Amino acid sequence: MPETTRSSELEEAIQRLTSVPEPDGEFINTLRAHFLAKGQARANTNRVIQMRQKSHSRRLTWGLVMLAIVALAVLFTRPGVVNALKRLFGYVPNVGIIDRSSEVRMLAESVTVTRENYTVTVEQAVLTSEMAAVVYSYTLPPDMVIPDAISSEFHAPFLTLPDGTRLDVSRARHVDSRDCPQCYLRYLMEFPAVPFNVNEATLEIPDLAAVPSNTAPRNWRMQLRFKPADPSAIAPVFEQTVIPEPATQPGDPPTNSASPYGITNRLDTFVALPDGYILYGNTSWTNPIIPPYGIGSILLGIQDAAGAEVPFDYADPRIYSESGELRGYWAYEIGKNFTAPLTLTFGMTASLPAEGGSFTFDPGPNPQLGQKWELDQEVTVNQEVIHILGAEQGGIEPGFFLFTMQSDSNIIGAFIVDLDHPPLGGGGGGGGGILEAGVPFNSGFGYQVP
- 61: exposed, middle or buried (Cβ count in 10 Å: 0-12, 13-18, 19+): middle
Give the pLDDT score at 28.
43
pTM of the model: 0.61
Give the pLDDT score at 80.
37
CA atoms of 255 and 246, how far apart (whole Å): 14
Identify the CA nearest to 425 among candidates 44, 43, 46, 42. 46
pLDDT in tens, 282-307: 999 998 888 888 888 888 899 898 99
What residues contact 114, with CB distance under 8 A and at least 6 apart? 120
- 259: exposed, middle or buried (Cβ count in 10 Å: 0-12, 13-18, 19+): middle
Average pLDDT, the chain: 75
- Which phi and psi (to 5°) does residue 26 adopt? -65, -40
pLDDT in tens, 84-100: 344 468 889 899 889 88
Positive or negative CA dihedral for 337, 270, 173, 136? Answer: positive
Give the pLDDT score at 395.
66
- Residue numbers in the chain where pLDDT is lower than 70: 1-88, 146-152, 213, 239-259, 395-397, 421-437, 448-450
